[in-house]
Amino acid sequence: MRTELLFATNNANKLREAREILEPLGFDIISMKEAGVQIEPDETGDTFVRNAEIKACDVFNELDIRMPVIADDSGLCVKALGGRPGVYSARYAPEGERCAKLLEEMKDVPKGERDAYFECAIVYVDKYVCESFTGRCEGEIGFEERGENGFGYDPVFVRDGRTLAEMSAEEKNAISHRGAAMEKLVAYLRESYGV
């Protein structure tokens, strides 16, 4: 028996990644559009977990038919920038300009001092339950955009010599921050609900 989860996101790339990771494991991922939910929760939290909680709870409260909701918040944290852009990763620059702005801001940062990590928090909400799961992917910021896959900051985030945008979806999901958080979510669901 498959389990339905509503993913509280309007980001088609995040929805695709969640489906790639969770659907082979027996979960059907329902989009907000498919559920008839048309809100855009305000991400006013100062942590990834808090922003994911806001999204999950807001969307859960909008549902006509109750089903579990998952939401994520994620971002890039760069050591040389004091952890920025962090929770402001999506608002750091307009879509399509983020990588260029980051590379410009880091143009004088030498190799060996470009450490960064992606962090993801996933929150699961059901009737009386609110649980959070986090994942992290360590790497560094490259000196140019490379690769055609992925999205967001993937073309400048280097792990083991390649950017995330140079990896296949399977390779990226196996090491990604979202993949790590999803793995913890799946373990929780299997233990709690026997799915």
pLDDT band at 49 (very low <50, low <70, confident <90, very high): very high
Res 17: pLDDT? 83
Q: Which of 72, 73, 108, 154 is an active site residue?
A: 73
Let me know if 73 is a catalytic residue: yes
Strand partners, 122: 72, 133
Q: Which of 80, 75, 73, 76 lies closest to 56, judged by CA? A: 73
C-alpha–C-alpha distance, residues 97 and 90, integer Å = 11
- Name the percent of the chain lying above pLDDT 70: 98
Query: What global pTM score does this model have?
Result: 0.88
Q: Which domain holds residue 102?
A: 3-193
pLDDT band at 193 (very low <50, low <70, confident <90, very high): low
Q: Which of 135, 123, 121 lies closest to 60, judged by CA? A: 123
> What digits encode the pLDDT tens for the residues 106-145?
999 999 999 999 999 999 999 889 999 999 999 999 999 9
pLDDT band at 1 (very low <50, low <70, confident <90, very high): low
Residue 76 sits in a domain whose CATH number is 3.90.950.10
Count: domains in the chain:
1
Distance of CA 146 to the CA centre of its chain: 20
Find the mean pLDDT for residues 76-82.
97
Res 159: pLDDT? 95
> What digits encode the pLDDT tens for the residues 142-181?
999 999 987 899 999 999 999 999 999 889 888 989 889 9
Q: Which two tokens stand for residue 54?
A: 């806001």
